Structure 1
């Protein structure tokens, strides 16, 4: 790994530490990932496999929406070998390393389907912090290009990002004291169920403008960038169930 690449990673770590918002920190992180051929990533806590509300632990969902929908509909979290290893591991690992072990048929299916969605290989950086449950920063793509010697710095980058996002989200959550109305929760639950704004307007018997107005209010209350982000935040606040 050349000095320029090392310097870029150190600069990215500093930029994440100095980021005023989660969006800025994630933008810096995404820029680094792109240089290594990684275009999908997820930052999440890792509750027990049987937890049906594991979504509430997500800090940022950067997976392709099609893969996330498939992962959820098939109940892959319960069998995900990356999540299982990350709960116990203290060192980063690459997805293909899991193949060297003995995966169950169901765990192999998770990895095979991920490959079908363009995530043939990836990396996981387990996060273990005092007084917190296990977590992971994971990234993947159809082709990684990580040079020798880069993994320790990538690990440092992921740890800094996780801590930064956790602090910012905790601060944001403390400032988000206004709860959703029953109508807003109902509407957001339909969105979480995969319904479009047009679908919801028909289901609830309201206009599209009303649905869009509710969505704007929901995003403002939750400080969310889009509907998917709002769903994750509402789940973490236990305001909706899916």
Structure 2
């Protein structure tokens, strides 16, 4: 994918007339890199409920229900890394760091993989009325590191 192609996608996103159109364009754009799912969310403080901070998502329903019922947000390696990183990172990086401290993170990541969220990237973002926030992209086999063939990870140039 070249720069012109990326700019064309950006212009389409900027000109979307509705949130639904924007989400559909975004899903099409990220699919080219192997990402089939995404979530845009705030990260809760102790007194907040995670489900109230989700801004937009295209996430497997079964996984979301399971995740919420077990309050995984408090132990999720990707969510925890989003609180301390200012730039994009891969799920693999977050998982590797978390496994040094606890096995709960490993279990969460294995269960996410079973739900079709095998790997991903996360971009921390500010979210009003939340500790922090993130845009997390995931899929069965997304491109998350450098170059693979002629396709390049969309976040690799931010590192």
TM-score normalised per structure 2: 0.83
Q: Is the 8 A contact 2:44 2:130 kept in 1?
A: no
Larger CA Rg, structure 1 vs 2: 1
Give the superposed CA RMSD.
2.2
Query: In structure 2, how many angstroms separate the alpha carbons of the residues matched to 1:131 and 1:76?
Result: 20
**Runs of 5+ consecutive residues of structure 1 not aligned to the other structure:** 156-242
Report which of the two has the higher share of helix. Answer: 1
Deviation larger for 134-143 or 122-131: 122-131
Are residue 136 (structure 1) and residue 134 (structure 2) matched?
Answer: yes
Structure 2 matches for 1:103-118, cutoff 5 A?
A: 103-118=101-116
CA offsets per residue over residues 140-178 of structure 1, 9 Å max, x none? 11101354463157x7xxxxxxxxxxxxxxxxxxxxxxx
**Runs of 5+ consecutive residues of structure 2 not aligned to the other structure:** none
CA offsets per residue over residues 199-228 of structure 1, 9 Å max, x none? xxxxxxxxxxxxxxxxxxxxxxxxxxxxxx
Deviation larger for 102-111 or 134-143: 102-111
Query: In structure 2, how many angstroms separate the alpha carbons of the residues matched to 1:86 and 1:9?
Result: 25
Query: In structure 1, how many angstroms separate the alpha carbons of the residues matched to 2:85 and 2:8?
Result: 27
- Structure 2 equivalent of residue 23 of structure 1: 20
Query: In structure 2, how many angstroms separate the alpha carbons of the residues matched to 1:43 and 1:93?
Result: 15
Deviation larger for 4-13 or 111-120: 4-13
- Structure 1 equivalent of residue 43 of structure 2: 46
TM-score normalised per structure 1: 0.56
Are residue 71 (structure 1) and residue 67 (structure 2) matched?
Answer: yes
Report which of the two has the higher share of strand. Answer: 2
Query: In structure 2, how many angstroms separate the alpha carbons of the residues matched to 1:63 and 1:129?
Result: 19
Structure 2 matches for 1:114-125, cutoff 5 A?
A: 114-125=112-123
